[in-house]
Amino acid sequence: MGSAASIVLVAAGLWSWGYPGGTPEERPASIFERPAGVAETPTAYGSMDKSIIRGVIRDHINEVKACYEAELAADPTLFGQVMVQFTIAATGEVVASVLQKSTMHSPPVENCTVAAVRRWRFPKPLGGGIVIVSYPFVYTPEAPIVLVPGSNGANRVELQPLSTRMVLHRTTDARSIPSNGLIAITERGLLLVDTAWTPAQTEAILRWGDERLKQPWIGAVITHDHADRDGGLDALARRSIPVSALDLTVEKLRQRHIGGVSTLFSARVGQVDVKDARGFEAFYPGPGHASDNIVLQFDALLFGGCLIKSAEADDLGFTGDADLKAWPGAVRRVQERYGKTTVVPGHGPVDESKTGAAFENTLRLLEKKR
């Protein structure tokens, strides 16, 4: 096929309704709204266990994967979610299959997925009748999306979708040092967590969001004042994208004669966290890698920034502004608050183990530094 791809079988987000008889008048206009007169839990007539539905989908997953791979070869930036609603008849045949919604912006993938599902066959629903199912197929490329290849490892810009709601951006500086940030895809638009090293790299990321995700940039959050976090601020200023940060970071920027960054919350008045309407919690655990480092939590994902080293890191990196005495306590406060979760460090691979490996490795490196 030319390009490797992966498809996530979604454990949550599968909806099904059972209808004895299943006349057109009984079918809902939207699967997300319970139709009048239909029980909240499907009745014994026309019901099917969700594990059975997932099992059939798993058996046929290569068919929809082929839909994605055929287009991914031509467009390596392609990723997203295709929600298909389909109707299982009393015979087990799929008698209707339609596109419910999609973030792919790719009619070939969407149409192919809908057509593939229409060919499937399920066990007969218990008690007869029909079962209507909505299922989200999550398509992500296995290889990073390269926006700027750079030269000899330097000045590179690449993206790695972590989910349909979260994309890692990774850039390298002139010395080939990689740095991580995030693009959060919210209901309101796109949120950038930390810039790239340079304005040009940051603009490449913003332009990709415009062209691929087709949503507005609603803001950016800077997790501390270092070049790997805010080196691309000029690109945001040119687009008038609002930027916010901890008050300590805002003050550091002001001392460098950089304005236009608003205060997200104030550590100087004793506030240590804030829940933002854009879908994240920001937490200030105290000094560590820098005096102003914060972390951001999005559902089951934590952006640890440079406070948290990767599980594979063998040194602490730059410590010129670090408080080595306070740093372990800051890491433990983050670990206690957010537990075992996926951790995106400021540099290095994402820790998807959910075992706390990134926290523990950071603490080990700090112990060695003593």
**What's the pLDDT tens digit per position in 314-330?**
999 999 999 999 999 99
Q: How far apart are CA 302 and CA 369, in angstroms?
A: 25
pLDDT of residue 76: 87
C-beta of residue 295 within 8 angstroms of C-beta of residue 282: yes
Mean pLDDT over 345-363 rounds to 97
With cut-offs at 50, 70 and 90, classify the pLDDT of residue 77: confident
For the cut 70, the answer to whether the pLDDT of residue 5 exceeds it is no
Q: Which fold has domain 145-369?
A: Metallo-beta-lactamase; Chain A (3.60.15)
C-beta of residue 16 within 8 angstroms of C-beta of residue 39: no
Using only C-alpha atoms, the chain has a radius of gyration, in whole angstroms, of 24
For the cut 50, the answer to whether the pLDDT of residue 279 exceeds it is yes
pLDDT of residue 4: 60
For the cut 60, the answer to whether the pLDDT of residue 23 exceeds it is no
pLDDT of residue 203: 98
* Long-range CB contacts (within 8 A, 24+) of 172-177: 172/197, 173/197, 173/198, 173/227, 173/228, 176/152, 177/228, 177/347
With cut-offs at 50, 70 and 90, classify the pLDDT of residue 47: confident
Q: In degrees rounded to 5, what are phi and psi of residue 164?
A: -75, -5
Q: What is the DSSP letter of 13?
A: -
Q: Please say whether the structural domain 5-141 has been given the CATH code 1.25.40.
A: no
C-beta of residue 189 within 8 angstroms of C-beta of residue 216: yes
For the cut 70, the answer to whether the pLDDT of residue 40 exceeds it is no
E strand or H helix at 39, and its extent?
none
% of the chain at pLDDT higher than 70: 88
Mean pLDDT over 1-5 rounds to 52
Mean pLDDT over 250-260 rounds to 97
- CA atoms 218, 302, 84, 42: torsion sign: negative
Mean pLDDT over 270-281 rounds to 96
CA-closest candidate to residue 216, choices 180, 263, 183, 194 = 183
pLDDT of residue 26: 34
The owner of tokens 């950071």 is: 362
With cut-offs at 50, 70 and 90, classify the pLDDT of residue 163: confident
The owner of tokens 């309101």 is: 188
The owner of tokens 């691979």 is: 349
For the cut 70, the answer to whether the pLDDT of residue 56 exceeds it is yes
pLDDT of residue 46: 53
Q: What is the mean pLDDT of the chain?
A: 88
pLDDT of residue 275: 97
pLDDT of residue 164: 84
pLDDT of residue 300: 87
Count of C-beta atoms within a 10 Å radius of residue 115: 13
CA-closest candidate to residue 75, choices 3, 142, 8 = 3
pLDDT of residue 6: 57
Q: What is the pLDDT of residues 79-129, one digit of tens each?
A: 899 999 999 999 999 999 999 999 888 999 999 999 999 999 999 998 788
pLDDT of residue 2: 45
CA-closest candidate to residue 49, choices 113, 124, 117, 99 = 124
C-beta of residue 82 within 8 angstroms of C-beta of residue 104: yes
pTM confidence score: 0.83
Question: Which residues contact residue 253 at a Cβ distance below 8 angstroms, ignoring those fewer than 6 apart?
Answer: 225, 230, 245, 259, 261
Domain-by-domain residue ranges, the chain? 5-141, 145-369
Q: In degrees rounded to 5, what are phi and psi of residue 31?
A: -70, -15
